[in-house]
Amino acid sequence: MQVVRLPDDQLGSASAVLARAFQDDPAWGWVIPKASRREALLPWLFQSAFEVTDAEVWAAGDPPLGCARWVPPGRPEVHVGQMLRAFVATPLRLLDATSRFLAYGRAVETMRGEAVPEPHWYLAGLGVHPDHRRQGLGATLLQPGFEASARDGIPCALLTNAEVNVRFYERHGFEVIREGETPVGGPRAWMMRRKP
């Protein structure tokens, strides 16, 4: 299946498929324990992430059956207006989950910065709709990042909170370089790196 880079006006469909893919993810289950709230909030959270910081969003299928969000090396461009809107809206939407959401985000970025301090392409999310898993879509969605990594001569990195994903990523050349909790007392995490 062909993978295409999504334009900004199609990121809503990417948010929806990522929300469905991450519904049972351990990290999101820790941040938003109630499944029905998680189902309602994840599309908005993914959409907000797309709007706040620039990244390359790649999709397989039309409408997307799977998506990958690759963040280029360096500090991504932040859209200040969208960031301010998210800053106000997040606590109003997440309510009691806000502190866990912020603590998780800080812990992920800390682990990433310590484990992979050099420039790298960062896989900030890869998800395939549960009905379409194990058909090669995840592997296909890795390719844009691998190509960018090879072109730029820098590694790729990712963090997963699902131990079952570790084996998938290892089959595609990633190695675990750090393991820990995000944050302390939170979900287990594996930071992984792949050489260019």
What is the model's pLDDT at position 56? 92
Burial of 15: CB neighbours in 10 Å, binned 0-12, 13-18, 19+: buried
Which residue type, as a one-letter code, is found at position 27?
A
Q: What average pLDDT does the chain have?
A: 92
**Total domains, the chain:** 1
Rounded mean pLDDT, 186-196? 97
pLDDT at 45 over 90: yes
Quick one: pLDDT band at residue 155, thresholds 50, 70, 90?
A: very high
Virtual torsion, Cα 103, 67, 120, 190, nearest 10 deg: 50
* Separation of first and last alpha carbons in the chain: 24
Rounded mean pLDDT, 161-187? 96
Contact of 38 with 93, CB cutoff 8 Å: no
pLDDT at 76 over 90: no
- Percent with pLDDT over 70 in the chain: 100
What tokens appear for 95 in the block? 């309510």
What is the model's pLDDT at position 134? 86
CATH number at residue 66: 3.40.630.30
Cite the beta strand spans of 21-106 per DSSP E. Answer: 56-60, 66-71
Indicate the range of 24-28, 46-50, 75-79, 101-105 predicted with least confidence: 75-79
What is the model's pLDDT at position 51? 82
Question: CA-CA distance, 17 to 181, in Å (whole number)?
Answer: 26
pLDDT at 81 over 80: no
pTM of the model: 0.91
Rounded mean pLDDT, 122-151? 93
Question: CA-CA distance, 111 to 106, in Å (whole number)?
Answer: 9
Contact of 120 with 146, CB cutoff 8 Å: no
Which range marks the domain in which residue 27 is found?
Answer: 3-194
pLDDT at 80 over 80: no
